[in-house]
Amino acid sequence: MNAAERREFVRSHRAAIFGYSRKKDGPSLTVVYYVMDGDDILVSSTTPRSKTRAVVRNPKISLCVLDESWPFAYLTVYCDATVDATVESDLDAVVSLYKRIFGTILGREFDDSAAHDDVVEKAIKEERVVLRLKPYATFMTPPRPITSEADIAPLVHLESTTMPW
């Protein structure tokens, strides 16, 4: 994939594994939905969650964007993350992202007239924040699916490499 294809892969998907360092033990991984803002990736989280605290502690995160269809492909995106908005600093930005995330989950545009007040209330109660991920590099291994035993012999594990975003 070239740079444009990598960006399109991220834009055309919606689920990812969010990886971050922990104070103790190994890295932590969690599933998130995300949306794009230009070349930046936005994730909705909450102030008390460990991924938000981890971003404040160490902004280097990994996002493994998953293809939801066979053959499974993925693209790991290395990012510098920041807490971009909180309910206290910019409630409109937090609510707007939350609605976009709900739309991503639903697979269609969020119907603002149906649940706007519920989303605002939920965002405040949950102490929602906007995490802004600024990609700087990617890592990709193309899928090499097998559909029968005959596919195993010619299966070659190609070397993958880190590429600029």
Interval 67-94 mean pLDDT = 91
Residue 159 has a pLDDT of 63
Question: Per-residue pLDDT for 75 more than 70?
Answer: yes
CATH number at residue 9: 2.30.110.10
Residue 25 has a pLDDT of 87
User: CA nearest 77: which of 45, 105, 36, 44?
Assistant: 36
Torsion angle, alpha carbons of 115, 43, 76, 164, to 10: 120
Question: Per-residue pLDDT for 59 more than 90?
Answer: yes
pTM of the model: 0.88
Rounded Cα distance between 32 and 57, Å, is 20
Rounded Cα distance between 29 and 165, Å, is 21
pLDDT in tens, 14-42: 999 999 999 888 899 999 999 999 999 99
Residue 162 has a pLDDT of 82
Question: Per-residue pLDDT for 155 more than 70?
Answer: no
Residue 142 has a pLDDT of 64
- Domain residue limits at 59: 3-164
Residue 143 has a pLDDT of 62
Question: Residue 163 — pLDDT band, cuts 50, 70, 90?
Answer: confident
pLDDT cut 70: percent of the chain above it:
93
The C-alpha R_g of the chain, in whole angstroms, comes to 18
Residue 134 has a pLDDT of 98
Residue 68 has a pLDDT of 79
Counting the structural domains of the chain, the total is 1
| Sequential DSSP letters for 67-91 | -SSSSP-EEEEEEEEEEEEEHHHHH
- Of the listed ranges 45-54, 69-78, 141-150, the least confidently predicted one is 141-150
Residue 157 has a pLDDT of 63
pLDDT in tens, 94-150: 999 999 999 999 999 999 898 999 999 999 999 999 999 999 999 876 666 677 788
